[in-house]
Structure 1
């Protein structure tokens, strides 16, 4: 590979891998927490499937678009849970696909509370399609080819403490730090460094107001050494356990409105519209996020109420 091509490859891939280190943005993380914490699978007593689509900064060319699917199931009557997650993230000419196999184990601490642990080894493929870039010189050979696909291993870890009305979760979305290494070809060096880890802490509580109304509050904190703490603060009014109307504020100056609908006992639909009050908000029409959760359970199996807020 020519030196100029190699240098460009390193720059483009390093920037995109840097984005993947902090995991994808998900405003409605509280609707299906296994997306951000593998141990949260244990809060489901039935097989379930979740899908989401996020279009960030609509109207802004090359803005991030993320799609994901999460499947999990309990293993018999044991305290073990297995799953499969697939995430696809596109920003500009760069794209990544992550496949992970989460595992979780739960322990009953008291009649009301459980504690679960989870891990999710993963593989990501990262691509940069330079041929899609429009340049002044259409014959520039550097932009007439795509960069080689980079394969990146990693793993997430999580803990989840929960009851019917409360949860507290801790997760590390990426255990390894991926660095571009240039020798005769482009390679990735994977290292573990505690200071480079991203830490997620989530807390939520449900306040029953009366028979037909619950008030849910939750927060998600994200922290990495050398950066300021980022908080998502959420509040939701839940009517008759069916319709939830809420709002979310992120300390990076974003505000979201969230609508959640429980339908036919087994289906939950959730939509969020998010607006960024930073300067990029002047050039976009906000962000849209859609999520669908399907619970697949036996007809005679009683449903265990667990927090989804």
Structure 2
């Protein structure tokens, strides 16, 4: 029975890989840079994130994903003066006073790097991308940024873990394939809102292994996300947000999330991914150097009869944080 279940899941992975579906994350709100390159350099420090996700915990061969991302501003004026010109020690971005005093950042550049490693049964994918963004002030309290990322993706089939590698079905499969990647994004943000759109895998290079998959080609992925900050009292805020994902030949997916932040130290939240799962999440800003967050997905789709939920952990580091902020001032 377990072998039959694993076979079904592996077949589903093969379809997903053929369509080039990138890894999905529940805590996208904590690191929008994974989805949109225009976010690069949005804060006044070097933003480093180390994340891991265990999908469908308890099922052999279920997806396991890890990533490392970093991005930072490169304009000297932006780094020295800061986007908001607040005093050293930071300013609570969930207070009403933050929105009243907020000023858009000066025009500046941002760069970043993302490395992702994803394994689903015997299919292994590694992505390495470099991102660039330019942030422009379009109003006294509003910035618009545009960005792009480029790099490569390697997909390989781990033949060592296959019981019958001489199976005719695998006869035309190569051990690995490397293809170039290209993505674009745009991001509009202020003290109380953000909205952005991005596209990934624009080159449409197939990453499946068979000649049949080559003839079908690859598929682009499109994302739209937005959120708004609602102040509750003087030190708390509620942040509803949405993420819509669309890929050719795949169902439309919507993520609907709600985050409640207490000052600039603690936040809790929940969400729903259409036709797939509910989620609960929480995060804690331990210091001006380090923060951590965790989420758990409760599966609602057919896989719920075979597996437990999904775990996701993200560790964040705020390097060169000269203003000693505990919480991201713009990425909320």
TM range (shorter): 0.7 to 0.9
Question: 1 CA distance for matches of 2:169 and 2:302?
Answer: 32
> CA contact under 8 A between 1:23 and 1:173: conserved in structure 2?
no
What are the within-5 Å matches in structure 2 for residues 204-283 of structure 1? 204-225=227-248, 227-283=250-306
Change (3 A) 1:181 1:307: closer
Corresponding residue pairs, total: 290
For residues 228 and 23 of structure 1, what CA distance do their matches in structure 2 show?
Answer: 14
For residues 8-55 of structure 1, what are the alpha-carbon distances to aligned partners after superposition, in whole Å with 9 as ceiling and x for unaligned? Answer: xxx999746425x23211110010110111101242222111111000
Aligned residue in 2 for 1:49: 48
Residue matched to 1:34: 33
Distance 1:67 1:247 in 2: 22
- In structure 2, runs of 5+ residues without a counterpart are 1-10, 77-106
Which stretch shifts more, 117-126 or 295-304? 295-304
Q: Which runs of 5+ in 1 are unaligned?
A: 1-10
Q: Could you tell me how far apart the structure 1 residues matched to 2:169 and 2:242 are?
A: 45
Deviation, structure 1 residue 134: 2.7
Q: 1:307 to 1:299 in 2, by over 3 A?
A: closer
Q: Does 1:126 align with 2:155?
A: yes
Aligned residue number for residue 95 of structure 1: 124
Task: Check if 1:152 corresponds to 2:166.
Answer: no
TM-score normalized by the length of structure 2? 0.79
TM-aligned CA deviation for residue 269 of structure 1: 0.9
Residue equivalent to 2:135: 106
Contact 1:267 1:293 (C-alpha < 8 Å) held by counterparts: yes
Deviations 1:105-134 (A, max 9, x none): 110011210000111001111110122123
Checking the alignment, whether the CA contact within 8 Å between 1:176 and 1:191 is kept in structure 2 is no
Shift of 1:300: 4.8
Q: CA RMSD in A?
A: 3.0
Task: Measure the CA separation in 2 of the matches of 1:202 and 1:165.
Answer: 14
Displaced runs of 4 or more, over 6 A = 11-14, 138-144, 189-192, 301-304
CA displacement at 1:227 relative to structure 2 = 4.5
Give 1:88 shift.
0.2
Q: Residues 248 and 187 of structure 1: is their aligned pair in 2 closer, same or farther, counting only changes over 3 Å?
A: closer
Q: Residue 149 and residue 253 in structure 1: after superposition, are their counterparts in 2 closer, same or farther (change >3 A)?
A: closer
Q: Is the 8 A contact 2:150 2:181 kept in 1?
A: yes
2:31 & 2:12 partners in 1: Cα distance? 32
* Structure with greater strand share of residues: 1
Structure of higher RCO (CA pairs closer than 8 Å, 6+ residues apart): 2
Per-residue deviation at 1:152?
1.0
Whether the 8 Å contact between 2:288 and 2:321 is mirrored in structure 1 is: no
1:115 pairs with one of 144, 151, 158: 144
